[in-house]
Structure 1
Amino acid sequence: MANISNPADTAVIDESQLKGKNLTLPFILVISLFFLWGMAHNLDSVLIPHLKKACNLNNVQSSYIDMAVFFAYFVMAIPAGMMLKKFGYKNSIIIGLVLFACGAFLFVPAANTLTYGLFICGLFILGCGLATLETAANPYAAILGDPAKSTFRLNLAASFNGLAAMVAPYIGKTFILSGKEYTKDQLAAMPAATKASYFMQEASAVKMPYIVLACILIAVAILFFFSYLPEIKNVSKEETTGGKFFGALRHRHLSWSVVAQFFYVGAQVCVTSFFIREAKQGAGLDEKSAADYLILYGFLFTVGRFVGTFFLRFIASHKLLSLYAVISILLSLVAIFGSGLYVVYCLGAIGFFMSIMFPTIFGLGIDGIGDDTKPGSSWLVMSIVGGAILPFIMARIIDANNDHVQSGYVIPLICFVVVLYFGMSGYKIKKQLA
């Protein structure tokens, strides 16, 4: 059985466009997108505890950051899929980059006015850009070249998404986190002017990183505009629905991959969003030291992507996915019931074993679905809404348990159980659903 998506059964590059063309530059450009949206997601891991402090929020309120970004995926997935079918991969990517940049630029007025709602608005627009990029770039990376190497290519591109998981926390620690923290009693005792100045300084720290990110995004969009990217044509070996959105779900394995992706993304966002809080509470670290361990998480996530990409050359992707899910379940149990610094190390190790899950679930989901590849991609991107819903539930659990962060990690545990089922059974291509 094929490890992952076989584009020979789905879509291929139009060979008439390839005479005298080299696909190396297009693939490098696509890889840059994986890195850039990885930066956005992993900066959220720093942004959540930082804005919790700067805007004086509780856990549930701080979870609105994840909710804004990942709810945008849900809202934008269908329009992004329609855009992809109408305008093609290149133009959709450019539109996604521009939306991404607009959301990042909105951080400036949000910080200047210390308006949490404006931060949320900026994050939602940013998320719409990310949804558009992922709808286009994930299948494009899988299809852009030799069909037999689609698994390797998709995981290689995703490895640079993992690289961002290491770079973003370092940038967050260096340019966003101040290391200044006050208890509720200390804040209450502060003069009003001093407290207002403190909150404003903390909020303003996010401006420069997001301005730089937005400028880079505009530059990359210009580069895409002037670069050659071959378009894709669908060549199906089986009867298809003609790429109808709901018709795509007749593929049982695609339906299960949507469920698995919902829970996987929820697990990843839960682990990273509360990582710094857990490191501070469970191991007694200050926020900058906690950020160092988040960098370690990013390092292990990055290494896991490259190691996983290597293993996928020899091990069936569903088998490796199942093995990694089992290990993640065990590590989650330690994170829930353990104590001390090694709990933080376990959370870092989860990063290693989560690293291949998204691209592997994505590839298994679009395996052999013919003209349904584009709407199938939209469904898989829409499933990223798990990153909005599950962290909110986790935050509710934590607040209900007197701010006990460890108790909330039961949510990632449940998520990995679902991923395990998909790797053992749900991935199988069976007779299509009626």
Structure 2
Amino acid sequence: MHPQAPPTTAGGRFRGSTPLLPLALIVSLFFLWGVANNLNDVLVAQFKKTFTLSDFQAALVQSAFYLGYFVVALPAGAFMRRHGYKSAVVLGLCLYGVGALLFWPAAAHAAYPMFLAALFVIACGLAFLETSANPYVTLLGPAESAAARLNLAQAFNPLGSIVGVLVGQRFILSGVEHTPAELAGMSAGARDAFMRGEAAAVQIPYLVIGLCVLAWALVILLTRFPPTDMGEESTPAMRGVLRRLLRDGRLLGAVAAQFFYVGAQVAVFSHMIRYTQATMPGTSDKMAASFVTAGLVCFMVGRFAGAALMKHFKASRVLALFALANVLLMVLAAFVPGRAGIYALVASSFFMSVMYPTIFALGVEGRDDDERKLGAALLVMAIIGGAVLTAAMGVASDRVGIAHAMLVPAVCFVAIFLFAQQRRQHAVAGATA
């Protein structure tokens, strides 16, 4: 028997108190996709070792993953408008769970392309979750507390990221590594046994994740959620809004900045283990993963610190200062490799923390509801930067070394700084007009 849904207004908000069980179930999604996102950082290192990949080939983990976001973002929004938030969440969880379960046959066959296909399916599910969960949290309760609910939900994302890295460090990374010379000296059977053993390390963690996610989908399916007013617009009207947005330089600037930000963040975290091992020889993959965890802790702390700063300073100013700090840290990592460079990469996580939500907010601020919905979808599609720029950094690493490859995210942060400066100038011009 389903619990009775709380009363709503015509706009989909609630006259009564916030429905706690639906809210808790939706907030949990932020944790779940944090786990998936940052397990990829471990997979880059694990697959590079398992399949003897170049840095570019290993970076295809992130390319396959973020390509899923790009391909599915707009279809997920259309599905949500037609079938509702809850249906989009359930479908997203099912795709996430199935993708995780596909790791089992991929490991059994020790096939890297199968792993990439499984990651693509997971990302398709996460695109549905991110497209639906963020706006749904704002509707699950009174309008005056919507921002507080969304901030609470977002706080669970870096927590999931930390758990993802810890799971990978504890259950996937073995600490057993062989030099190219050692591998060449093995018999074909010994090399094959090593490769299959390393590939099999992902089976149990992803099996558990897949089953838990599918169980969570069933719980949400069986839980009665209060109805909301989707406010669906006609297709011709939405096409007109989209054409208008694609001619809007302010929004396109935000989309470009988001592209560079996601690319820089994913590139840094994906290659942090590789950078650590390359610039501090003798460091095991397990020890190197500890720096990724430290970076995620800095990321979580930076989110709260950045929010506090924005109470006193304009968001565009904080974004500009944080972007400039990261340009300097990336240059330090590029030209002072070793312990100092690693600490610079960990510190950069603090300054990256506020960039995604700040760019997002600056991109949609001052827009009506129609423009906000489609503008948000375009900003989510900019996540493709994680696929393009991580691969570009892999190419740079193969050619000039992992340390100098850190100049790729440095250029990304320069682009974000220029966007923030442009937004500051726009705000000043608007205030003096």
Give the letter aligned to residue 378 of structure 1: A
Equivalent positions of 1:176-195 (< 5 A) are 176-195=172-191
Q: Residues 200 and 230 of structure 1: is their aligned pair in 2 closer, same or farther, counting only changes over 3 Å?
A: same
Q: Partner of 2:404 in structure 1?
A: 407
Q: Aligned ranges for residues 39-50 of structure 1 at < 5 Å? A: 39-50=35-46
C-alpha spacing 1:192/1:175, structure 2 compared with 1 (3 Å): same
The residue type paired with residue 389 of structure 1 is V
| Contact 1:300 1:348 (C-alpha < 8 Å) held by counterparts | yes
Contact 1:96 1:130 in 2 (8 A): yes
Aligned with 1:377: secondary structure?
helix
Is there any run of 5+ residues in structure 1 with no aligned partner, and where? 1-11
Structure 1 counterpart of 2:351 = 353
Q: Which residue of 2 aligns with 1:5?
A: none
Structure 1 residues 243 and 171: CA distance shift in structure 2, 3 A = farther
The residue type equivalent to 1:125 in the other structure is V
My pick for the range that moved more, 108-117 or 293-302, is 293-302
Tell me the residue number matched to 2:274.
Answer: 277
2:386 maps to 387
Distance 1:254 1:141 in 2: 24
Q: Distance in 2 between matches of 1:13 and 1:51?
A: 51
1: distance between equivalents of 2:112 and 2:349? Answer: 29
Task: Identify the residue that residue 6 of structure 1 maps to in structure 2.
Answer: none
**Mapped contact 1:14–1:230 kept (Cα < 8 A):** no
**Any residues of structure 2 matched to 1:193-272 within 5 Å, and which?**
193-225=189-221, 226-234=223-231, 244-272=241-269
**Residues in 2 aligned to 1:327 and 1:145: alpha-carbon distance in whole angstroms:** 38
Q: 1:123 aligns with which of 119, 125, 136?
A: 119
Deviation at 1:256, TM superposition (A): 1.7
Is the Cα contact below 8 Å between 1:162 and 1:305 reproduced in 2?
no
Distance across 2 between alignment mates of 1:144 and 1:258 = 28
State how 1:331-350 maps to structure 2 within 5 Å: 331-350=329-348
> Counterpart of 1:104?
100
Which residue of the partner structure matches residue 132 of structure 1? 128
Question: TM-score, normalised on structure 2?
Answer: 0.89
Cα pair distance change 1:46/1:13, threshold 3 Å: farther
Cα separation, 1, equivalents of 2:43 and 2:294: 17
Classify 1:127/1:13 alpha carbon distance in 2 versus 1 (closer, same or farther; 3 Å).
Answer: farther
2:361 corresponds to which residue?
Answer: 363
Q: Is the 8 A contact 2:13 2:142 kept in 1?
A: no
TM-score, normalised by the number of residues in structure 1:
0.89
Residues 256 and 426, structure 1, Cα contact 8 Å, conserved in 2: no
Match of 2:3 in 1: none
Q: Write the distance in 1 (CA, Å) between the matches of 2:63 and 2:242.
A: 24
Return the alpha-carbon distance in structure 1 between the equivalents of residues 423 and 253 of structure 2: 5
How far the C-alpha of 1:227 sits from its partner, in A, is: 3.8
Higher relative contact order (Cα pairs below 8 Å, separated by 6+ residues): 1
> Identity, % of aligned pairs?
38
Instruction: For residues 216-274 of structure 1, give each alpha carbon's deviation from its aligned partner in whole angstroms, at most 9, with x where no partner exists.
Output: 211222232214245244599xxx85774444334443222211111100000110110
Give the unaligned 5+ runs of structure 2: 1-7
Amino acid at match of 1:59: D
Residue 301 of structure 1 and its aligned partner are, at CA, apart by 1.1
Report the secondary structure of 1:405's partner residue.
Answer: coil
Contact 2:106/2:114 (<8 A) preserved: yes
TM superposition shift of 1:151 = 5.1
Which residue pairs with 1:8 in the alignment?
none
Q: Secondary structure at the match of 1:274?
A: helix
Q: Which residue of 2 aligns with 1:7?
A: none
Q: Relative to 1, partners in 2 of residues 1:247 and 1:40: Cα closer, same or farther, differing over 3 Å? A: same
Q: Match of 2:407, as an amino acid? A: V
Report the 3-state secondary structure (helix = DSSP H, G, I; strand = E; otherwise coil) of the residue aligned with 2:15: coil
CA contact (8 A) 1:64 1:392 kept: yes
Higher mean displacement: 132-141 or 405-414: 132-141
Supply the RMSD in Å over aligned alpha carbons.
Answer: 2.5
Distance 1:263 1:388 in 2: 11
Q: Matched residue of 1:102: which SS?
A: helix
Structure 1 residues 346, 378: closer, same or farther in 2, change over 3 A?
same
Distance 1:24 1:365, change over 3 A: farther
What does the per-residue CA deviation read over 1:18-38, in whole Å, with 9 as the maximum and x for residues that have no partner?
A: 233424444433321121111
Partner of 1:421: 418
The separation in 2 between residues aligned to 1:214 and 1:273, in whole angstroms, is: 22
Residues 14-163 of structure 1 mapped to structure 2, 5 A cutoff: 14-15=10-11, 18-142=14-138, 144-145=140-141, 153-163=149-159
Cα offsets for 1:398-420 (capped at 9, x unmatched): 1112xx10111111111111212
- Give distance in 1, aligned partners of 2:9 and 2:378: 22
Distance 2:270 2:36 in 1: 13
